[in-house]
């Protein structure tokens, strides 16, 4: 454990321990992966101003997101198939997040169900909702989320149709995954993963299987999911979901200023500047490059968060400096989960928290809530472009 010092260390370990088809699902983008790469490289271009002889005693990285206390300005983003990175993955990740003082977001396309998280974690968490054609199922999901103790709904808008993800196509990843000979042979080289999966009953899509007419098991899931993501999704649907839910609402997948204005007009509590981790529209800009313009346009009306490309506490600090009120991390906690289960997720959070605290101090600040673009070197960060 002492040799794990960065998120990259966790990524490398996860790559060794997780079967290729599931590792590639987490660590890849669509088409040429240019947007996936830009999410990280655009962060790297931003430089800090190092300051000295400033009071950096009694530091705090605590803050709040949509009025909920957080140990740092980080929530764990929804990620499908987390339970295939490690057995019972969503339960383990939710436990680690809760113990750390953060919120975990369970995906609609999770392996463990809403009820699993409620039973095995026992603390509030968030739920991410995809809009399906079957509106009765959506209403049922929302009611199940309420019953499970979910205290914020994350509505993802940027997956009306699925982006073309070449690695998933090559690996035969589908719902359910195809057990081709190459996949079986690769799984055989991951004995730790195999033993974990043999020891759990959770190997299906827990939020869907058994809750939809005609989908009683994994064999009948593929045809249902292929038809269900709704390309007719509109802002009227957002209004309907807001009324059905009645609680804190976060809109995820905003990358354009005009869409940000529409999100603010919807009455949502927060929006997430995000390109789905570079997994949808390849050639779209990085999330961090769009953040300043969106903050300028709507930051006084709605909390603006950032998702995509965060691999360190320094990246969190840069997002906060450019006006974000919070961030969401997906791949860092998946790397930790795939590498070492719950302990690995905790390690990922500890790494990010430590990097955030130290970097903030070396920029001359002792409270994350006071950080602004004064900590950044002029000319190295994106200006407002709208």
Supply the pLDDT for residue 386: 47
Give me the percent of the chain exceeding a pLDDT of 90.
Answer: 88
Say which residue, 307 or 230, is predicted with more confidence. Answer: 307
Over residues 81-98, mean pLDDT: 98
Supply the pLDDT for residue 210: 86
Write out the DSSP string of 311-360: -SHHHHHHHHHTT-SEEEESHHHHHHHHHHHHHHHHHHHHHHHHHHHHHH
Give me the percent of the chain exceeding a pLDDT of 70.
Answer: 96
Over residues 153-173, mean pLDDT: 92
Supply the pLDDT for residue 239: 98
165 known member of a binding site: yes
Supply the pLDDT for residue 362: 98
Q: Which of 120, 166, 276, 333 is catalytic?
A: 276
36 known member of a binding site: no
CB 274 within 8 A of CB 287: yes
Nearest alpha-carbon partner for 90 in 119, 67, 64: 119
pLDDT in tens, 54-73: 999 999 999 999 999 999 99
19 known member of a binding site: no
Name all domains of the chain by residue range, CATH numbers in brackets.
Answer: 7-375 (3.20.20.70)
Say which residue, 79 or 227, is predicted with more confidence. Answer: 79
Nearest alpha-carbon partner for 79 in 126, 116, 123, 47: 126
Number of C-beta neighbours around residue 50 at 10 A: 11
CB 307 within 8 A of CB 316: no
Contacts of 205 (CB under 8 A, 6+ apart): 109, 110, 111, 175, 218, 221
Over residues 106-111, mean pLDDT: 96
pLDDT bin (cut points 50, 70, 90) of residue 218 is low
309 known member of a binding site: yes
**Cα–Cα distance measured from residue 268 to residue 248, given in angstroms and rounded to the nearest whole number:** 7
107 known member of a binding site: yes
Active site annotation includes 276? yes
Angle at 338 between CA 98 and CA 154, to 5 degrees: 45
25 known member of a binding site: yes
146: tokens are 């309420």
Over residues 46-52, mean pLDDT: 98
pLDDT in tens, 1-31: 559 999 999 999 999 999 999 999 999 999 9
CB 250 within 8 A of CB 66: yes
């Amino acid at each position: 454990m002492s040799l794990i010092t960065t998120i990259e260390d966790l990524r490398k370990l996860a790559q060794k321990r997780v079967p290729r088809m599931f590792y590639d699902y987490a660590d890849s983008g669509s088409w040429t992966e240019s947007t996936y790469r830009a999410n990280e490289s655009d962060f790297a271009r931003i430089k800090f101003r190092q300051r000295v002889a400033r009071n950096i005693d009694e530091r705090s990285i605590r803050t709040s997101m949509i009025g909920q206390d957080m140990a740092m300005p980080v929530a764990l983003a929804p990620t499908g198939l987390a339970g295939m990175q490690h057995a019972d993955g969503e339960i383990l990740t939710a436990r680690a997040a809760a113990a750390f003082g953060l919120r975990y977001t369970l995906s609609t396309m999770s392996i463990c169900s809403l009820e699993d998280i409620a039973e095995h974690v026992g603390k509030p968490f968030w739920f991410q909702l995809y809009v399906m054609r079957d509106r009765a199922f959506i209403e049922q999901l929302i009611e199940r989320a309420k019953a499970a103790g979910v205290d914020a709904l994350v509505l993802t808008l940027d997956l009306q149709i699925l982006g073309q993800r070449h690695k998933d196509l090559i690996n035969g990843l589908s719902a359910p995954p195809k057990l081709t000979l190459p996949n079986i042979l690769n799984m055989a080289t991951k004995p730790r993963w195999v033993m974990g999966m043999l020891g759990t009953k959770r190997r299906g899509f827990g939020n869907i299987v058994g809750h939809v007419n005609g989908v009683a098991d994994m064999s009948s899931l593929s045809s249902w999911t292929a038809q269900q993501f709704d390309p007719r999704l509109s802002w009227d649907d957002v209004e309907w979901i807001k009324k059905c839910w009645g609680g804190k609402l976060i809109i995820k997948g905003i990358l354009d200023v005009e869409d940000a204005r529409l999100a603010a007009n919807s009455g949502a509590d927060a929006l997430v500047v995000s390109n789905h981790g570079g997994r949808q529209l390849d050639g779209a800009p990085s999330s961090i490059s769009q953040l300043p313009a969106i903050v300028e346009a709507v930051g006084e009306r709605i909390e603006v968060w950032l998702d995509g490309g965060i691999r360190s506490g320094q990246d969190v600090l840069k997002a906060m400096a450019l006006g974000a009120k919070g961030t969401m991390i997906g791949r860092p906690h998946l790397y930790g989960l795939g590498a070492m289960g719950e302990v690995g997720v905790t390690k990922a959070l500890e790494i990010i928290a430590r990097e955030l605290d130290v970097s903030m101090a070396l920029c001359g600040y002792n409270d994350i809530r006071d950080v602004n673009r004064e900590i950044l070197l002029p000319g190295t960060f994106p200006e407002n472009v709208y």
